[in-house]
Amino acid sequence: MQYPFSVVLASASPRRIALLQSMGVDALVYPAEIDETPRIGEGPERLVRRLAATKAITSALSHPEAVVLGADTVVALGQKILGKPGDPEDAAAMLAQLSGKSHQVYTGMAVYRHRSGIGFIAVEVATVTFRRLTGVEIAGYVDTGEPMDKAGAYAIQGGAGPWVKTFEGNLETVIGLATGSVRSLFHRFARRLEGAGSHV
């Protein structure tokens, strides 16, 4: 679908780029470099909302006329947040924590246009349950290198897919960008533009 504005993606994630392309959106990629450290007492939903919005706002400073899409994904065991692993040992420790348990994956998505100062945010949540994993399975997966740039140290569409025992929610949420929510955010922005005219 064509939107009445240009789109900038504040992420270099190949998975997010591919999901946007599946929507027919050819976005300019302009990653935002921000501090993604959770604040004290900050839960996973609040964290992804804040980081998605911060990424969108940061990239929008360099593209004031465009609608910038920021996104952030975290894995959480209850309120314990598992971000991207710092090293292979960290990745293995994360996967050991997820073994045989259910966890939630939160993806926050924010759209923002600097010229108008208008933005919208959405959060999607999915629940994933892994079967019990062996140490050999975890070590072998970590050795592939796939976990190193993934929240929670795994890719559900990759080598960790066979580990999933049950799943509730939208698979795209776990991959990193829920296209249904993105469409809704873009549509809200398009309606706002139509209602406000060219001054927005």
Cα–Cα nearest to 121, from 180, 185, 175, 171: 185
Q: Tell me which residue has tokens 């420790």.
A: 93
State how far the Cα of 58 lies from the Cα of 85, in Å rounded to an integer: 24
Active site residue 35: no
Instruction: Tell me how many helices (H) and strands (E) the chain has.
Output: 6, 7
Question: Could you tell me how far CA 135 lies from the centroid of its own chain?
Answer: 28
The CA–CA distances, whole Å, from 53 to 34, 59, 91 equal: 11, 10, 27
Which entry of 72, 90, 143, 149 is annotated as an active-site residue?
72
DSSP calls for 73-127 = EEEEETTEEE-S-SSHHHHHHHHHHHTT-EEEEEEEEEEEETTTTEEEEEEEEEE
Is 150 in a helix, a strand, or coil? coil
Active site residues: 72
